[in-house]
Structure 1
């Protein structure tokens, strides 16, 4: 039986539901052009970057009129910032982070977003100090679903892949954990709840559903 020595968390959508505000912001912009942005389409870029699917490029292509992508991104950021004022940490997040420290676990964060954005969110919600290492999309060659971020986290924590557990909310994040060979607990948010998760080790509706210590005992 392998002893778990480290936990690695995604950020956007898992600790803080930033994904729903982003989707709603883009949906609002699409609707201003009398266009729809189906959730299952937008979900392609959740947890990754826009290399596979770019909602801004798609808008410009569908609108068949002049769409300034930079201006559209600024508008989306403004709407997102307004919607984020209503957001809090997801249920059970603080308890999981506190329990991880109490249990003597190493704690890392691995996100496809850039470091400036991640640190801004962690500071705003006063949880930055919980993390022993932080790995972001601007520090690796490939973001999720590639394993680079999780492999970097393992190296920084000096643990083997079987000694860690990843917590994710997106398909791209789950694929990244799978590709790194690390067990993954999926905790979807409102936007990702409908996605076809299949290769996870365990699934929870929220961290509030099961204490971290009980979950780790179950996984061990």
Structure 2
């Protein structure tokens, strides 16, 4: 292998569980429940796959002030994110990849303005040789364009790279671009049924990067 490519949301830091909890609270404040199976449709991609505002309006059978709800959701998410840290093993993997001479990429369906402040906050930004976000593509995951652009930026082919993902949409994108894919689900995405992956870990602290690469088919 010559490169690793990380997802961001839910993989490097679990931003996804706080988002679900924030919207779940909003639903409960309106006397409704937000089904996890519906929310999982938009994990790793955008609200085009599942619009929580539209779904709540359908449940209530009336229109809502979406801008107000968005502001409330963002406030709740910020409060919940104060308790979050990078996921176990992430820094070890980045350090190991750098020491091994591997190229390191990031492919995220989120915008650069969302991703980069977190990377800088946790001292991770400098580890990445290429950062590809929603700003750089026409279609986000599960479309493979993010990964295709990341491979191009890193100068490697799909079979020379391993993607680390936590979502089904991310897995589909990585595999469609020809990468090996290691699934590291979080508290929300562990409920998904994954297939066509190279390996599944409960956490990156479960196994070192070198051990993971040894178990994968060499390029």
TM-score, structure 2 as length reference? 0.97
Determine helix, strand or coil for the equivalent of 2:5. Answer: strand
Matched, 1:172 2:169: yes
Q: How does 1:127-166 map to 2 (within 5 A)?
A: 127-166=124-163
Deviations 1:194-214 (A, max 9, x none): 100011110000000000011
Query: In structure 1, what is the Cα distance between the partners aligned to 2:145 and 2:209?
Result: 25
Q: 1:64 deviation in Å?
A: 2.2
**Which residue of the other structure, out of 66, 70, 74, is the alignment partner of 2:71?**
74
Alignment partner of 1:8 out of 5, 10, 28: 5
1:21-47 CA deviation, whole Å, 9 max, x = no partner? 000000000001111111111000000
Q: 2-side partners of 1:88 and 1:199: how far apart?
A: 29
CA contact 1:57–1:69 (8 Å) conserved in 2? no
Shift of 1:163: 0.4
Question: In the alignment, which residue of structure 2 is the partner of 1:115?
Answer: 112
1:56 is matched with which residue? 53
1:85-117 deviation per Cα after TM superposition (whole angstroms, max 9, x unaligned): 000110101000000000000000000000000
Give the number of aligned pairs.
217
The match for 1:65 among 58, 62, 66 is 62
Deviation at 1:138? 1.9
- What is the DSSP-based 3-state SS (H/G/I as helix, E as strand, rest coil) of the residue aligned with 1:185? strand
Q: Which whole-Å CA distance do the structure 1 matches of 2:172 and 2:54 have between them?
A: 25
Q: What's the RMSD between the two structures over aligned residues?
A: 0.8
CA shift for structure 1 position 121:
1.1
Matched with 1:194 is: 191
Give CA deviations for 1:56-76 in whole Å, capped at 9, x if unaligned: 121122222341111111110
**Contact 1:60-1:69 within 8 A present in 2 as well:** no
Give TM-score, length-normalised by structure 1.
0.97
Q: What SS does the aligned partner of 2:34 have?
A: coil
- Whether the 8 Å contact between 1:47 and 1:112 is mirrored in structure 2 is yes
| Alignment gaps of 5+ in structure 2 | none
Question: Contact 1:10/1:111 (CA < 8 Å) preserved in 2?
Answer: yes
Q: Are the equivalent residues in 2 in contact too, given 1:110–1:136 (CA < 8 A)?
A: yes
Task: List per-residue Cα deviations over 1:144-193 (Å, max 9, x = no partner).
Answer: 00000000000000001100000000000000011111110000000000
Counterpart secondary structure, 1:116? helix
Q: Which runs of 5+ in 1 are unaligned?
A: none
Tell me, yes or no, if the aligned pair for 1:177 and 1:184 is still in contact at 8 Å. Answer: yes
